[in-house]
């Protein structure tokens, strides 16, 4: 049985629902029109900054972090309910300062950064004054296995010298992007999971080159976008290293657990919005002398969508609760399962909604096509399906063998 969220979290949920209806959904078209008319698409629509200030003034800000000093003190389970609501609009997470990769980067700085690093980078990120990127994926290796990463981080006196090429660095083209967390190898001869480190690289450091934007199914996701970034003999002080040499995987694991809850709940929000749009469209349209909503085949799709969404939501909320109670490591299998299940459900429901909208469904007149591209990409973000399927199977087999041993001992 699902537990209730606190009255405080429920109040935030209600306020968030109201804010979305009154401000965020109406702003989607304004953002789109601004970018279409702008001479430079990599500029920030004023409405985004206006709504950020409005959200901050209403206390709907930094909802993602679990303590009262940096966030709102919500558990992962409580925040999951809010994250789903924000997931219904692709512009919403930024408005509440709950957008990736900034949330993950802020969590890294809170957990692993020193006081100087926090003051310089964490504070402006928490205030929504700057943006950041997480540079891990590389084009020349299979980055689903992060041990393949080839970017070099070599110490030279009081500095580290960074050389490498990264891509899918989300937010790198955003003019507000000021800091990168870069993952690379400090010691290729060390034990496999102790070769990598993470280091802070200011974006204005000589040698940092944002080479080109990368599109997702044709969408450039301006004004933040995704980029190929080259690090050419980039020099930063040794004090920019996070936690210590060889601690990169440790940091990555601490970063990814809660982040996957966020991705999953936003995916469920996308599915919910798609189902709403499907029903609304079906009630408006008539084909072959009857309303679409009255056709059995369409009602079956509605029912299937509801079943799938509820299954995905329950699995994700259960995982969030397990992280709260036992930590991300204990919830490793659950985290992998939601990473597999939720994007599939979102794609199924969005696809049905596209079908009901006909040509409109794949056009820019409705949010469905872009949401579909986003949901499909989610099957790759933070590791592709096959990696998580492998992990679930491995953990399931391990548990079965352990249980057999217990039975045999008895």
- pLDDT tens-digit profile of 303-340? 999 999 999 999 999 999 999 999 988 999 999 999 99
Per-residue pLDDT at 410: 66
DSSP symbol at 73: -
Q: Does residue 409 carry a pLDDT above 80?
A: no
Average pLDDT over residues 336-349: 97
Q: 3-class SS at 212?
A: strand
Per-residue pLDDT at 295: 95
Reported pTM = 0.93
Average pLDDT over residues 257-262: 80
Per-residue pLDDT at 258: 73
Please give the C-alpha separations between residue 7 and each of 4, 11, 12, 13, 127, in angstroms, as whole numbers.
9, 6, 9, 10, 26
CA torsion through residues 49, 53, 58, 62, sign: positive
Rounded (5°) CA angle 365-371-372: 105
- pLDDT tens-digit profile of 98-125? 999 999 999 999 999 999 999 999 999 9
- pLDDT tens-digit profile of 164-178? 999 999 999 999 999
Tokens 């049985």, located at residue:
1
Whether 297 and 270 have beta carbons less than 8 Å apart is answered as: no
- pLDDT tens-digit profile of 8-33? 999 999 999 999 999 999 999 999 99
Please give the C-alpha separations between residue 243 and each of 112, 125, 162, 342, 358, in angstroms, as whole numbers.
6, 19, 17, 33, 52
Average pLDDT over residues 180-190: 97
Nearest to 166 by CA among 136, 198, 144, 201: 136
Average pLDDT over residues 380-409: 90
- Which band of pLDDT confidence, cut at 50, 70 and 90, is reported for residue 383? confident
Q: Does residue 127 carry a pLDDT above 90?
A: yes
Per-residue pLDDT at 289: 85
Q: How many CA atoms lie within 13 A of 135 on its CB side?
A: 36
Per-residue pLDDT at 257: 66
Distance CA(37)–CA(221), nearest Å, equals 15
Q: 3-class SS at 362?
A: helix
Q: 3-class SS at 91?
A: coil
Q: Does residue 1 carry a pLDDT above 60?
A: no
Per-residue pLDDT at 255: 79
Distance CA(376)–CA(370), nearest Å, equals 10
Per-residue pLDDT at 145: 84
In sequence order, what are the residues at sequence separation of 6 or more whose Cβ sits closer than 8 angstroms to the Cβ of residue 36?
Answer: none
CA torsion through residues 70, 273, 328, 125, sign: negative
Per-residue pLDDT at 287: 87
Distance CA(125)–CA(122), nearest Å, equals 5
Per-residue pLDDT at 146: 85
In sequence order, what are the residues at sequence separation of 6 or more whose Cβ sits closer than 8 angstroms to the Cβ of residue 227?
Answer: 133, 167, 168, 169, 172, 173, 210, 211, 212, 213, 214
Tokens 């990599």, located at residue:
42
Q: In order of start, what are the domains of the chain with their CATH numbers? A: 7-126 (1.10.540.10), 131-242 (2.40.110.10), 249-409 (1.20.140.10)
In sequence order, what are the residues at sequence separation of 6 or more whose Cβ sits closer than 8 angstroms to the Cβ of residue 179?
Answer: 105, 121, 125, 130, 132, 133, 200, 201, 202, 203
- pLDDT tens-digit profile of 229-250? 999 999 999 999 999 999 999 9
């Amino acid at each position: 049985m699902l537990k209730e969220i606190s009255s405080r979290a429920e109040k935030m949920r209600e306020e968030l629902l109201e804010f979305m209806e009154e401000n965020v959904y109406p702003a989607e078209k304004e953002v789109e029109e601004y970018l279409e008319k702008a001479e430079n698409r990599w500029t920030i629509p004023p409405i985004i900054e206006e709504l950020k200030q409005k959200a901050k003034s209403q206390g709907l800000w930094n909802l993602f972090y679990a303590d009262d000093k940096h966030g709102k003190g919500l558990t992962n389970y409580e925040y999951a309910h809010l994250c789903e609501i924000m997931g219904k609009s692709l512009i919403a997470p930024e408005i509440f300062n709950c957008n990736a990769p900034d949330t993950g980067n802020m969590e890294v700085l809170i957990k692993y950064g020193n006081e100087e690093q926090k003051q310089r980078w964490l504070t402006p990120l928490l205030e929504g004054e700057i943006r950041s990127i997480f540079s891990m994926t590389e084009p020349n290796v299979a980055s689903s296995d992060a041990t393949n990463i080839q970017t070099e981080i070599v110490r030279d006196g009081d500095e580290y010298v960074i050389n490498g090429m990264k891509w899918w660095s989300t937010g790198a083209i955003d003019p507000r992007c000021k800091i990168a967390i870069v993952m690379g190898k400090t010691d290729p001869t060390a034990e496999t999971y102790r070769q990598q480190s993470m280091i802070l690289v200011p974006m204005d450091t000589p040698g940092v080159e944002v080479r080109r934007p990368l599109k997702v199914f044709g969408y450039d996701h301006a004004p933040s976008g995704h980029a190929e970034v080259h690090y050419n003999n980039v020099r930063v002080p040794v004090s920019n290293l996070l936690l210590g040499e060889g601690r990169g995987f440790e940091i990555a694991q601490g970063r990814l657990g809660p982040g996957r809850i966020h991705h999953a709940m936003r995916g469920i929000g996308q599915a919910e919005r798609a189902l709403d749009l499907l029903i609304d469209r079906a009630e408006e349209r008539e084909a072959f002398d009857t309303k679409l909503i009255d056709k059995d085949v369409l009602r079956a799709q509605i029912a299937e969508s509801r079943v799938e969404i509820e299954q995905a939501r329950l699995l994700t909320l259960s995982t969030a609760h397990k992280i709260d109670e036992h930590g991300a490591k204990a919830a490793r299998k659950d985290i992998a399962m939601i990473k597999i299940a939720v994007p599939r459900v979102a794609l199924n429901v969005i696809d049905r909604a596209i079908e009901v909208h006909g040509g409109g469904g794949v056009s820019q007149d409705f949010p469905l096509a872009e949401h579909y591209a986003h949901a499909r990409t989610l099957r790759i973000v933070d590791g592709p399906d096959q990696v998580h399927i492998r992990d679930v199977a491995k953990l399931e087999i391990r548990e079965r063998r352990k249980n057999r041993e217990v039975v045999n001992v008895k």
